[in-house]
Chains A and B, each alone.
Chain A
Amino acid sequence: MDIRVQSAPFDFGAEAGAFARGRRDAGAIVTFAGIVRDDGGLARMELEHYPGMTERSLETIAAEATRRFGLLDCLVIHRHGSLTPGETIMMVATAAPHRADAFAAAEFLMDYLKSRAPFWKKEFGADGAAWVAAKDADEDVLGRWSQD
């Protein structure tokens, strides 16, 4: 399990390659990258986070994904600071014996990360700056992982 929170850019392809390299136990590796999307007029984005809690919450989410889906390994990289459209904000990678678990674990990680990891986005465009509002749907989607 590898969790990194950093302001520096990273090379998604190189990270995915390094994660996959030399594995003989994993039949499936799934990767996801989040990119800064320009919805029209976005100049840049500032990603604020809560140092300490961010790492803790990502570790908790990754450990839960590992337990639930029997992952052999997982990687989460999330950036903070200033980002421009087209830049990679974050990535997850999961390794499991079979693809169903690798896919499900990647979705689980993303769903929880979106509403449980303390990051906040502020967008800067031609009309000024605005904090991105959380979507109710992001919270609602967690219900599908309920084990009750």
Chain B
Amino acid sequence: MDVLYFAWVRERIGLPKERIETAAPTVAALVEELSAREDRYAAAFADLSALRVAVDQDLADFDAPLVGVREVAFFPPMTGG
């Protein structure tokens, strides 16, 4: 699936988008998998209360399932308007 990062999450991880092959059943499991991979992920995901997640471009919770999902995005709370 495609994993996208925005704002300071993108800066901390160091890239806007990557393709990840994963069997993680939920967003939370994917976060755990990425955090174990490298420090920059662990740093970005250190405080999940400071993050929001979208699954296939809809806002979701961290316990959302990933079965059949094409795109997951991580970002801080939005500041539009």
Q: How far is the CB of A72 from chain B (nearest CB, A)?
A: 23
Number of interface residues of A (CB under 8 A): 27
Interface secondary structure of A, over-half rule? mixed
Q: How far is the CB of B73 from chain A (nearest CB, A)?
A: 6
Asked whether any CB of chain B lies closer than 8 Å to the CB of A104, the reply is: no
Q: Is the CB of A116 within 8 A of B59?
A: yes
Number of interface residues of B (CB under 8 A): 16
Binds A, one of B3-11, B19-27, B31-39: B3-11
List CB contacts (< 8 Å) of A62-97 with chain B: 78, 89-90
Q: How far is the CB of A79 from chain B (nearest CB, A)?
A: 10
Binds B, one of A7-15, A20-28, A118-126: A118-126
Mark interface residues in A114-148 (1 if CB within 8 Å of B CB, else 0). Answer: 11111111100000000111100001000000000
Q: How far is the CB of B77 from chain A (nearest CB, A)?
A: 3
